[in-house]
Amino acid sequence: MEKGNTRKSETRLNVLEFERPILELDEKIHELEDLRGVTNMELEQEIEPLKKRRIELIASIYAGLTPWQRVLVARHPDRPLTTDYIHGMLDDFIELHGDRAFADDKAMVTGLARIENRRFLLVGHRKGRGTTQRLECNFGSAHPEGYRKALLKMKLAEKFGIPVVTLVNTPGAYPGVGAEERGQASAIATNILEMSRLRTRIVSVVTGEGGSGGALGIGVCDRLLMLENAYYSVITPEGCAAILWRDGANAQDAAAALKLTSQDLAGLGFVDKIVSEPLGGAHRATREMVASLKAAILETLDELEGIPLPRLMDERYEKLRSLGCPA
């Protein structure tokens, strides 16, 4: 059956190793549905129990994910990207380009955004979908001009008194020679300093990967949200393993030691809110994930709006001072 074979090849694309039992069930369900379509046979009694078992299996697998498996989910090629949130979440978006010094870094997107009657500045890492876009966006690893562009636009938001929302999804800032020559470390450090004292409300969301200074360059905020299967870490598990054990194969052990999951970071007081993902991860239901994040952002902006700015600035200062300090 040609239709069933096509479905199989599509389903097998981008499947994670621990998701293979789900894939096998999916294929059985698809085969029965295709058979029903061709023969008009009554197969509901066979299909419905499989669908129920599929839901139970997904829930069971995702309830017991290891930190390393959550890293793999955060990196899933089908996971919603910043562009998906822009197109699915915003009622209006005017992109703003350039750092007025060197170039317009496509790994960083900035623009004036609106959801219903709520206006804000959106800043986010852009990874790109497909090989061509990923190369153009440098796989989400921004150059110093990207961070300078982000800060320029955040200063604009401060000037007009509108809040800032940042979407963090990067393996880390680009470490190439050209980026270092143009002041990568300085650009990130400047962003961290200026965001800490930016006189407007800031919400940051880690939607996938939160890699080191590349994430922090747009991640200083009043409220930090994190998707359930995202990760946030000073270094990638592979990089940590290469340093500690001189072998990237120990990435699973490194992921556990780094305490990089949303659950770990919420327990440590770094994350203010975990945004739940659809059953089986955001990559299985982009539309649902976009709707959930939209609601979470609006709720957080409403909360911050009720706090006077001087008090919010004091709270931000105290929060940053207390991070990493024992209770």
Tokens of 121: 């500045």
Candidates 165, 32, 54, 46; CA nearest to 110 is: 165
Average pLDDT over residues 102-106: 92
Query: Residue 13: what pLDDT?
Result: 58
Lowest average pLDDT, out of 39-48, 98-107, 190-199, 221-230, goes to 39-48
248 or 40, which is more confident?
248
- Going by C-beta distance under 8 Å and a sequence separation of 6 or more, which residues neighbour residue 99? 105, 145, 146, 148, 149, 152
- Amino acid identity of 322? S
17 or 327, which is more confident?
17
Whether the pTM exceeds 0.85: the reply is: yes
Lowest average pLDDT, out of 215-229, 236-250, 277-291, goes to 236-250
Check pLDDT > 60 for residue 313.
yes
40 or 7, which is more confident?
40
Query: Residue 86: what pLDDT?
Result: 97
Query: Residue 1: what pLDDT?
Result: 33
Query: Judging by DSSP bridges, how do beta strands 108-115 and 118-125 pair with one another?
Result: antiparallel
Letter string b/e over residues 23-59, b meaning 16 or more CB atoms within 10 A of that residue's CB: eebbeebbebbbbeeeeeeeeeeebeeeeeebeebbe
Check pLDDT > 60 for residue 114.
yes
Tokens of 71: 């890293």
Check pLDDT > 70 for residue 10.
no
Query: Residue 108: what pLDDT?
Result: 97
Check pLDDT > 90 for residue 14.
no
CA distance to 53, 89, 113, 292, 313, per residue, from 207 (Å): 29, 14, 18, 12, 25
Query: Residue 308: what pLDDT?
Result: 96
Q: Would you place residue 24 in the very low, low, confident or very high pLDDT band (cuts 50, 70, 90)?
A: confident
**Would you kindly state where each structural domain of the chain is located, as residue ranges?**
16-64, 71-321
* Percent residues over pLDDT 90 in the chain: 75
**Range list of H helices, the chain:** 2-12, 20-39, 44-63, 67-74, 82-89, 131-136, 144-160, 177-181, 184-196, 212-216, 237-244, 251-258, 262-267, 286-305, 309-322
Candidates 151, 137, 153, 152; CA nearest to 105 is: 137
Average pLDDT over residues 139-167: 96
Determine whether domain 71-321 maps to CATH 3.90.226.10. Answer: yes
| Maximal CA-CA distance, the chain | 70
Check pLDDT > 60 for residue 5.
no
Q: Would you place residue 3 in the very low, low, confident or very high pLDDT band (cuts 50, 70, 90)?
A: very low
CA 92/CA 291 separation, integer angstroms = 16
DSSP string, 241-303: HHHHTS-GGGHHHHHHHHT-BHHHHHHTT--SEEEPPPTT-GGG-HHHHHHHHHHHHHHHHHH
Query: Residue 34: what pLDDT?
Result: 76
- Amino acid identity of 264? D
- For 313: left if phi > 0, alpha if psi spans -120 to 50, otherwise beta; the answer is alpha
Q: What is the pLDDT of residues 53-96, one digit of tens each?
A: 889 999 999 999 999 999 999 999 999 999 999 999 999 999 99
- Going by C-beta distance under 8 Å and a sequence separation of 6 or more, which residues neighbour residue 313? 197, 199
Average pLDDT over residues 288-296: 97
136 or 34, which is more confident?
136
Query: Residue 130: what pLDDT?
Result: 87
CA 227/CA 205 separation, integer angstroms = 7
Query: Residue 12: what pLDDT?
Result: 53
> Are the beta carbons of 88 and 122 closer than 8 angstroms?
no
CA 186/CA 144 separation, integer angstroms = 8
Q: Would you place residue 265 in the very low, low, confident or very high pLDDT band (cuts 50, 70, 90)?
A: very high
> Are the beta carbons of 133 and 109 closer than 8 angstroms?
no
CA 108/CA 125 separation, integer angstroms = 5
